[in-house]
Structure 1
Amino acid sequence: MKKYIFLFFFVFLLAHSDEITQKQKDIKENERIVKQLSKKLEDLAGEILDNEKNLKKIASEINLLNGKTLKLENSVKTQIKALEQLNNQNKDLLKNKNQIEGKLIDLIAKDFAYDLAIPQNYIESEDGIIALEIIGNLDKIFNEEFLKISKDYEDINKKIEDKENQIAVINTSLKEYKNQIDELRNLRKKQEVEIAKQKTDKEIYTRKLSSLQVQQQELRKTLNQLKIIQEKQEEKVVQKQEDNKEKNNIKQIGSSFQTSNVKRYVGAKTISPLESYTVKQQFGNYVDPIYNIKIYNENVVLKSTNPDAAVRNVLDGKIVFAKATPTLKKVVIVENKEGIHTIYAHLDKIAPGVKVGRNIKKGYIIGRVESDLTFEVTQKNYHINPLEMIR
């Protein structure tokens, strides 16, 4: 019974092995996509450019190998025919070799028979003398025939060796051809996989690029509504979007590029909104290397090194905005002294005590983020690089 259960289990696994392998591949690719989504825009762009070079290299290798394979293919048919002929010739030679070996054995046996001891009284007789003379002549004939057959045997062995060498050369050539066919097949499979990855990465990159623009536009709109930036800036963006509605998505992403009024921060350094982080997106101009689109980043993106990290208010001030938005998750804006506004976007949680109109101190916990925090600073219609402000 156990034997049948084991057999059933084995057959089941065998039948579903391809499905399991494919699911494992899908899981691995999904994990890769999640990883790509969390990368910096410029890092992802770098990977895409590197992969473009890799794809060109693979294509070049395929073309080179394809050329070699075609050359070999032209001679393969001839070589296969030659191999068949050589094998047939070799069979005939081996057959002849066996026949010669048989003749040699017969000669040796006959020679041995004539060399058997002859009685002394017979040797001294007249018949014996005649017999000895005949045997001597026969020995001479046997020796001559033996030498001839031995020479034939040596020649046929040499021919067999030559044929076997030719067969070995052709087999090596055919093996090389097969190896090149296998290598070509593997390269094409690799190319298909890399092209699929490249397509996915470009889609991710385009989405991230588009999302970045949408988020910046929403943030500008919010700042405009709060009279933190001039209204005409937002109007320019909207107008450009309307003018480019008929263009493709990539062009639409680049159509809203605008430089911002920027000034240096001259105040005292303050705390950072996150205790532990890396800078995922820098402030200022970014030229997209894939589509050559210019983007002006008016904020920085700080990636927390800890999940569910507390977000701290960096300067004393009053909360002027605190709510969830369609693309920026939860947003808190604080009005600070000397016309400064600090903007915290992509919050996963807003602290219960955060209410519009409330005054809060530096270091007050305004919310939490799982990973990325978008941090922006303005001063009287100018943008400031947030990294100049924080320690």
Structure 2
Amino acid sequence: MIKIFFLLILANSLIFSSNIDKKIKQNKEILNSSSEKQESTNLKIKELADKIEAQNSNIMNLEKDIKQINDDIEQHQKLLEEQKNKLLELKSKSTELIKEKNSNEEEIVNTIIEEFSISMALKLASENSLQELIDSEIYTLLSEHSKEKVTKLNNNYDAVSSSTKVNQKEIEKISSYIEDRQKTKDKLTNLKQKHSSSLSSLESQHKSYQEELNKVVKQQESLKNLLAELNILKEEENKKAAAREEEKRRKLQELLAAKKNTPKEVVVEEPQEIQTADVRNQKFAKDLNLDVRKIGSSTDGVKIVSYKGAKTIAPLKSFKVVKNFGTYYDPVYKIKLFNESIVLKSNEPKSKVVSVLNGKVVYAKKNAGMLDNVVIIQHEGGLHTIYSHLDEISPTLVVGKWIKQGYVVGRVDNSLTFQVTKDSSHINPRELINL
């Protein structure tokens, strides 16, 4: 009996120490996973930075083009003003020529009428007189001079009018060119605004990825702290275990000393009760073999098994599946990823999240880094269900509590990430729940 008791104490210590080592190993795996995600996020940020730099270069080129067009427009605007001034001068000159022409025409008409009247008078007085002949010759010369003058004025006027029309066409041509340039400038300005908006969007994405990286770093630090705490816990628990062993040895010595005067049943009953409690606790700790990985991870080393049991209820009452389990390609970076969960979008605000099976709460943590609020429940057959990105965790939920199917573990406003594992493998949640 004494040997059995010592063997139980030794087994108890070994199992407890093994459990602490297992937890440390699991958290180291999570830490390595976070490091991989940090490297992936760093790569994404570098790609975003390259895009921002390229966008900046593009905007600079656009600004050069806009300046060149502005200079060209300014140059042609000066030419246009010169042509407009020239046109005004030509119009003014044309107006003067028209006035002069009209005046000359009026003068010629008056002269012809006057001379014609004189000629007629002379003819009526004496057709053979010498003065009549002289006046007739003067009239002829005057008429020819007037006609020549009028013709000259008409030619000048036509030349000016022709020059004015040519100049007007040139001005219209230049005006049309400047209008086209202005449209081009407006187009480039719109492109510049569009690219500036695009740059702002890229910078916003860059900021988002930096925030994501910070979250990963904080999660990594949190995991490091957890590892440190677990190491401390291991030392403390080893001390406690040694103290318990010493206490048990002392009690055993007391039992041995009192053996002669104590019924056998009493000696057997006390250690048997302690043994039952330790075995139950250590069995639970041994089954706590959870691999809570990041939501998106590499496809390498992912183990998947099929669920053969009966289907059960879904964690949400009204929802739609917005992200499926399995391999997918990132639409932005074109990289192959593996999603170990499904994402359910709730159709109702503050929707209740329930346990899909009977089980025991083995993990419940608020603000658990990238997973936000997380609850993990252990079920029969090595199954574990993980409910992450909860907006609230039920205040009645505590680690170690046994809960039934349908028990409210928390609430979500938007979406729930639901994951199922069996031992060290993953199960497609669609195989477990009714959809």
TM-score of the superposition, structure 1-length normalised? 0.65
Flag structure 2 segments of 5+ consecutive residues without an equivalent. Answer: 1-43, 231-283
CA distance in structure 1 between the partners assigned to 2:79 and 2:101 by the alignment? 32
Deviations 1:87-131 (A, max 9, x none): 454444334323322331222222232315838755412445643
Q: Does the alignment pair 1:283 with 2:325?
A: yes
Counterpart of 2:167 (choices 158, 163, 170) is 163
How far the C-alpha of 1:291 sits from its partner, in A, is 5.6
Distance 2:367 2:419 in 1: 16
In the alignment, does 2:303 pair up with 1:261? Answer: yes
2:108 matches 1:111: yes
Give the corresponding residue for 1:202: 206
Look up the SS of the partner of 2:366 in the other structure.
strand
What residue in structure 2 maps to residue 93 of structure 1?
A: 90
Change in Cα spacing, 1:343 to 1:181, as seen in structure 2 (3 Å) is same
After TM superposition, the structure 1 = structure 2 runs for residues 267-306 of structure 1, keeping only pairs within 5 Å, are: 267-286=309-328, 288=330, 290=332, 295-306=337-348
| 1:199–1:275 CA distance, 2 compared to 1 (3 A) | same
By how many angstroms is 1:385 displaced? 1.6
Contact residue 319 and residue 359 of structure 1 kept, 8 A: yes
User: Whole-Å Cα distance in 2 between the matches of residues 280 and 216 of structure 1?
Assistant: 28
Counterparts in 2 of 1:74 and 1:137: CA distance versus 1, 3 Å: same
Contact 2:383 2:423 in 1 (8 A): yes
Which structure would you say has the larger Rg? 2
Amino acid at match of 1:161: K
By how many angstroms is 1:315 displaced? 1.5
Query: Where does 1:100-179 land on structure 2 (aligned, <5 Å)?
Result: 100-114=97-111, 115=113, 118=117, 122-125=122-125, 126=129, 127=131, 130-179=134-183
Q: Distance in 2 between matches of 1:358 and 1:255?
A: 31
Given that residues 297 and 339 in structure 2 are in contact (C-alpha distance below 8 angstroms), is that contact kept between their aligned partners in structure 1?
no
Higher helix residue share: 2
Return the letter of the residue paired with 1:349. E
Aligned to 1:307: 349
Q: Secondary structure at the match of 1:366?
A: strand
Q: What's the offset of the Cα at 1:163?
A: 1.2
Distance 1:258 1:159 in 2: 84
Residues in 2 aligned to 1:323 and 1:272: alpha-carbon distance in whole angstroms: 22
CA distance in 2, matches of 1:107, 1:319: 117
Residue type at the aligned position of 1:302:
L
Residues 216 and 373 of structure 1, relative CA distance in 2, 3 Å threshold: farther
Give the AA of the match of 1:179: K
Which deviations, in whole Å up to 9, do the C-alpha atoms of 1:21-75 show, x marking residues without a partner? xxxxxxxxxxxxxxxxxxxxxxxx9xx99xx79x87x987985896697489569
| d(CA) in 2 for partners of 1:254, 1:382 | 16
Could you list the runs of 5+ residues in structure 1 that have no partner in the other structure? Answer: 1-44, 238-252
RMSD of aligned Cα (Å): 4.4
Superposed displacement of residue 376, structure 1: 1.5
- CA change 1:294–1:259 in 2 (3 A) is farther
Rounded Cα–Cα distance in structure 1 between residues aligned with 2:324 and 2:391: 21
CA distance, structure 1, for counterparts of residue 218 and residue 402 of structure 2: 30
Opposite residue 124 of structure 1, the aligned amino acid is: L
* Residue 203 of structure 1: how far off its partner (Å): 3.0
Q: Which residue of 372, 375, 384 maps to 2:418?
A: 375
The secondary structure found in structure 1 opposite 2:311 is coil
Residues 218 and 380 of structure 1, relative CA distance in 2, 3 Å threshold: farther
Instruction: Find the aligned partners of 1:144 and 1:283 in 2 and give their Cα distance.
Output: 103
The residue aligned with 1:386 is 429
Task: Please tell me whether the aligned partners of residues 330 and 345 of structure 1 are also in contact (alpha carbons under 8 angstroms).
Answer: yes
| Cα distance change on mapping 1:291 and 1:209 into 2, 3 Å | farther
Per-residue deviation, residues 255-307 of structure 1 (Å, max 9, x unmatched): 99863322122222222111222334433345546566665433223221211
User: Which moves more between the two structures, 287-296 or 277-286?
Assistant: 287-296
In the TM superposition, residue 159 of structure 1 has moved relative to its aligned partner by 0.8
Q: Sequence identity, in percent? A: 31
SS in 1 for 2:362: strand
Change (3 A) 1:213 1:294: farther
Q: Which SS does the other structure have where 2:375 is aligned? A: strand
Specify which structure has the bigger relative contact order, considering alpha-carbon pairs within 8 angstroms and separated by 6 or more residues: 2
Aligned to 2:376: 333
Q: In the alignment, what sits opposite 2:386?
A: 343
Shift of 1:195: 0.7
| More off after superposition, 325-334 vs 378-387 | 325-334
The DSSP-based 3-state class of the residue aligned with 1:321 is strand
1:326-369 CA distance string (max 9 Å, x none)? 33444332222222111222323333543444443322323211
